[in-house]
Amino acid sequence: MSEQVTIIGAGIVGLCCALSLQDRGIAVRLIDRGEPGQETSFGNAGVVSPWSVIPQAVPGIWKTIPKMLLDPKSALSVRASFWPRMVPWGLRFLRKSDEKSVRNISDAMELLCRPSIELYRRHLQNTGHEDLIVDSNYIHAFRQSDQADLKALGYAIRKEKGGQLERIDGAELRRMEPALSRDFKAAILIKGQARVTSPGRIGSVLADKAHRQGAEFVRTEVTKLNRTDDGLWHLVTPEGPLHADTVVMAAGVWSAELLKPLGLSVPLVAERGYHVQFPNPSTVLENSVMDVDAKVVASSMQDGLRVAGTAEFANIDAPPDPRKQALLTEQARAMVPDLNTTDTQFWMGRRPSFPDSLPAIGPVEGSKGLFSAFGHSHYGLMMAPKTGELLADMVSGQRLNISMAPFALSRF
Ligand SMILES: Cc1cc2nc3c(=O)[nH]c(=O)nc-3n(C[C@H](O)[C@H](O)[C@H](O)COP(=O)(O)OP(=O)(O)OC[C@H]3O[C@@H](n4cnc5c(N)ncnc54)[C@H](O)[C@@H]3O)c2cc1C
């Protein structure tokens, strides 16, 4: 077992890996070019859902994609220059949309999502910020009553796995969430969830905890990674080289580029999402609420009401699309009619997405001492704590009594 593990990337995944490694007595060094937890992990919708066990590719999705692509107000868009990469990724995505694949992926997602609330509570214990995670329902709100159907595959699988789901009508929905529009005629409540009330702050708090427990933080950019003849990993940075015998790649969507010189080509894309946040909303939501038509999630955060969503496939460094601010603000008002939308904050982040909605966790085949912990797409906040636990078990040489095959980087 190594004396110190170097983690590239201090997003929520890298931070949870660090804490779990420390729990096992292993020293860690975290390298990030920015502040911990302030990249993709900063701007998400805060949903921590043990029942987020349904991948993005589901049966029949191929029928909805063309219509969404043609509608400028839909949640899905692809930048013209990205199509050459989109087509092969999209075909892999569609190949995983049959029910059998969905059920297999669902089992793997369950493994990562189920313990997330409990693990966050453990990580936050004695930080003074235990209130960063609060109990919540996840409300899926529908404008057309007949679409709120508990027999639909996604809800049926959740129920089979023991999730507590309930269908409610519009009146009951407004009793729970008076701020929501009367246009919503029904909802599915997914119970036993939680939400993080400031994803950016949870990153800072967990980084402080890791630091207090002895983690070394290095603020620099890793521009290249290679293995030297003495068996060490050599990390090239503008400040000079760093060396490590064990490296965890947790650089989110940027991980793919860093792995290329090792001959590894992985189908990881930047599935960009946006949020608008209203610092003076003049109204609150008690739960995470998804507008199922618009595919956006609204949640009251410590610093305002946030509405997050959209899937924009584009190059990592393409500038944000300013039209998304108007679109999300319009969608926010449609959900919460009395919302005060002055001083809107606008943000874009990059989900690190594989076609099967599962991350890569574990040793990288043929690269001794290198581990992957990236590719958490829409679910990184909730999957991060269990990712950390599994990763730390593997790094410390513990035998796992589960199959890690669904998370192997070599599955592609
Ligand atoms: C709009 C939106 C809503 C979302 N909502 C939810 C939600 O409600 N619940 C949920 O579970 N998930 C949600 N997600 C997904 C979740 O935010 C991501 O899966 C998660 O943040 C990924 O975390 P990460 O640590 O892998 O990546 P990041 O947070 O991107 O961290 C990677 C880190 O690596 C660093 N880095 C990269 N390259 C280098 C380098 N070369 N050298 C040094 N440092 C480097 C970066 O600076 C960054 O800090 C949402 C995402 C978006 C965009």
Which tens digits make up the pLDDT trace of 387-412?
Answer: 999 999 999 999 999 999 999 999 99
Average pLDDT over all residues of the chain? 97
- The ligand 1 atom nearest the CA atom of 381: 11
The 3-state DSSP class for residue 213 equals: coil
Instruction: Report how far ligand 1's centroid is from the alpha carbon of 377 (Å).
Output: 8
Q: What is the pLDDT of residues 96-154, one digit of tens each?
A: 999 999 999 999 999 999 999 999 999 999 999 999 999 999 999 999 999 999 999 99
Q: What superfamily does domain 4-411 belong to in CATH?
A: FAD/NAD(P)-binding domain (3.50.50.60)
Write the CA distances from 304 to 55, 79, 135, 188, 279, integer angstroms: 29, 30, 18, 25, 4
CB 194 within 8 A of CB 48: yes
Q: Which atom of ligand 1 is nearest to the CA of 38?
A: 49
pLDDT of residue 6 exceeding 80, the answer is yes
Q: Residue 316 — pLDDT band, cuts 50, 70, 90?
A: very high
What's the one-letter identity of residue 404? M
pLDDT grade, residue 1 (50/70/90)?
A: low
Q: How far is the CA of 39 from the centre of ligand 1 (A)?
A: 6
The alpha carbon of 12 and the centre of ligand 1 are apart by a number of angstroms equal to: 7
- The residue to mutate among 15, 17, 44, having the most atoms of ligand 1 within 8 angstroms of its beta carbon, is 44
Which residues, 6 or more positions from 266, have their beta carbon under 8 angstroms from its beta carbon?
256, 259, 354, 360, 375, 409, 412
Report the separation in Å between the CA atom of 338 and the middle of ligand 1, taken as the mean of its atom positions. 31
- CA-to-CA separations, 86 to 80, 82, 91, 292, 312, in angstroms, rounded: 10, 6, 8, 24, 11
Closest atom, ligand 1, to C-alpha of 299? 8
Q: Residue 305 C-alpha to ligand 1 middle, in angstroms?
A: 20
pLDDT of residue 3: 81
344-379 pLDDT, tens per residue?
Answer: 999 999 999 999 999 999 999 999 999 999 999 999
- Give the containing element (helix H, strand E) for 327: helix 323-335
What is the enclosing helix (H) or strand (E) of 358? none
Give the mutation target among 190, 328, 354, 381 for probing the ligand 1 site: most ligand atoms within 8 A of CB: 381
Q: Which residues line ligand 1 (CB under 6 A)?
A: 8-14, 31-34, 39-41, 43-47, 221-222, 250-252, 254, 258, 273-275, 308-309, 349, 351-352, 374, 376-382
pLDDT tens string 183-237: 999 999 999 999 999 999 999 999 999 999 999 999 999 999 999 888 899 999 9
Sketch the domain layout of the chain as residue ranges.
4-411
Please give the pLDDT value at position 358: 98
- Phi-psi region for residue 25, left (φ > 0), alpha (ψ -120 to 50) or beta? left
9 C-alpha to ligand 1 centroid (Å): 9
Residue 213: closest CA among 12, 20, 68: 20
d(CA 286, CA 184): 16
* Residues 265-287 pLDDT 10s: 999 999 999 999 999 999 999 99
Q: Is pLDDT above 80 for 2? A: no
Question: What percent of the chain has a predicted confidence (pLDDT) above 90?
Answer: 98
User: What residue's CA is closest to ligand 1, atom 26?
Assistant: 252
Contact yes or no for 255/268 (Cβ under 8 A): yes
